[in-house]
A = this chain, B = another copy of it.
Amino acid sequence: MTVTYLDVLAAAERVRGVVNRTPVFTSRALNSHVGVEVFFKGEHLQRTGSFKFRGAYNALTLLDRAAKKRGVVAFSSGNHAQGLAYAAKLLGIPAVICMPSDAPKVKLEATAGYGAEIVRYDRFTQDREQVANEIASARGLTLIPPYDHPHIIAGQGTAALELCEEVPDLDVLFVPVGGGGLIAGSALAAHGTQPGIRVYGVEPHNAADTHASFRKGERVKIDPPDTLADGLRITIPGRITFPIVQQSVHDIITVTEPEIVMGTRYVIERLKQVIEPSAGTGPGAVLSGKIPDGVKRLGVILCGGNIEPQVLAAIMADG
């Protein structure tokens, strides 16, 4: 079961009019500073505050009628939970989200606010995947994984598709790398639209499982990572996403924690756009001299804007 450019195009038809066609941001000052024209795709302005809504909505529309009626389940304390809960609400599909008992109150409330049933688990004694699987089989629900699913990947690709349609002749596209759903979909979309483009993943140095896997030629598992980019704290690339990354991504760039902070803060201060640290990876790479030689036009996907107020405060107070 793989995914192609045609699946991304089909997903784009399905989500049209429901997902926000998010704006593209540019900065004359930045372009002149780095000597490259940079185009930021603002998925922090997507519904529920991240690109995750795209894949979730696409996957839900593709369930058969009986599965829609029974409902869906997911495990996530982050953007996938909110994207899925809201997509399910719009489609009238019951949704159960398994969240850790100690998840931030604001995230629990946001997810519950989208009408999802929250099942809490103890993340120190219980395995979240197992909890979700048990609920799925006990209640006949369909498990919707956060990235390793063809319909999720195709849906996530629609953000890059919009960017490549709006800004032609990009030389390079920078995409944050977590489990690989966004970059796999983005690579398919970008190559389908602009055959000469090179797609680079940008991954925290502290969570470089895809970087290591890409170098080794097989999926490498790392220890639970410690990075401010909480959306990218993944220990191993997906089974479905990784082969697409191997085939369609030019290289994986890593960024350090100070580079992530610098990138996040630059976008907040200069572009006046609130992004989360996971979205600061691309700008961090841009500002730290990691743009490949010869690039004239660079696309960067800002994947989300769901930053905890205290984290935003700390980033702005820093320095």
Residues of A whose CB lies within 8 Å of any CB of B are: 23, 44-45, 49, 265, 268-269, 272-275, 305, 309-310, 312-314, 316-317
Q: Output the least CB separation between A24 and chain B (Å).
A: 11
Select from chain B the residue with minimum beta-carbon distance to A312: B316
Pair A310/B316 contact, Cβ less than 8 Å: yes
Select from chain B the residue with minimum beta-carbon distance to A46: B272
Q: Output the least CB separation between A319 and chain B (Å).
A: 8
Pair A272/B313 contact, Cβ less than 8 Å: no
Select from chain B the residue with minimum beta-carbon distance to A276: B272
Bound Cα distance A237, B163 (Å): 46
Q: Output the least CB separation between A243 and chain B (Å).
A: 34
Pair B269/A272 contact, Cβ less than 8 Å: no
The contact sample of 25 A-B pairs, CB cut-off 8 A, is A44-B272, A49-B272, A265-B309, A268-B274, A268-B312, A269-B274, A269-B309, A272-B273, A272-B274, A272-B305, A273-B274, A274-B274, A309-B316, A309-B317, A310-B316, A310-B317, A312-B312, A312-B313, A312-B316, A313-B313, A313-B314, A313-B316, A313-B317, A316-B316, A317-B317
Bound Cα distance A57, B23 (Å): 26
Q: Output the least CB separation between A214 and chain B (Å).
A: 31
Collect the chain B residues with CB atoms within 8 Å of residue A305's CB: 272
Collect the chain B residues with CB atoms within 8 Å of residue A45's CB: 272
Collect the chain B residues with CB atoms within 8 Å of residue A314's CB: 313
Collect the chain B residues with CB atoms within 8 Å of residue A309's CB: 265, 269, 316-317
Select from chain B the residue with minimum beta-carbon distance to A23: B23
Bound Cα distance A44, B274 (Å): 13
Collect the chain B residues with CB atoms within 8 Å of residue A317's CB: 309-310, 313, 317
Bound Cα distance A309, B309 (Å): 14
Select from chain B the residue with minimum beta-carbon distance to A269: B309
* 12 more CB-based (< 8 A) A-B contacts, given A272-B273, A274-B274: A23-B23, A44-B272, A49-B272, A268-B274, A272-B274, A272-B305, A310-B317, A312-B312, A313-B313, A313-B316, A313-B317, A316-B316
Q: Output the least CB separation between A22 and chain B (Å).
A: 11
Q: Output the least CB separation between A159 and chain B (Å).
A: 16
Q: Output the least CB separation between A269 and chain B (Å).
A: 7
Collect the chain B residues with CB atoms within 8 Å of residue A313's CB: 312-314, 316-317
Looking at A23, A265, A275, A309, the one whose CB has the most chain B CB atoms below 10 A away is A309
Select from chain B the residue with minimum beta-carbon distance to A319: B309
Q: Output the least CB separation between A9 and chain B (Å).
A: 27
Bound Cα distance A310, B315 (Å): 10
Bound Cα distance A265, B313 (Å): 11
Select from chain B the residue with minimum beta-carbon distance to A274: B272
Bound Cα distance A23, B25 (Å): 11
Collect the chain B residues with CB atoms within 8 Å of residue A273's CB: 272-274
Collect the chain B residues with CB atoms within 8 Å of residue A23's CB: 23
Q: Output the least CB separation between A85 and chain B (Å).
A: 14
Select from chain B the residue with minimum beta-carbon distance to A302: B272
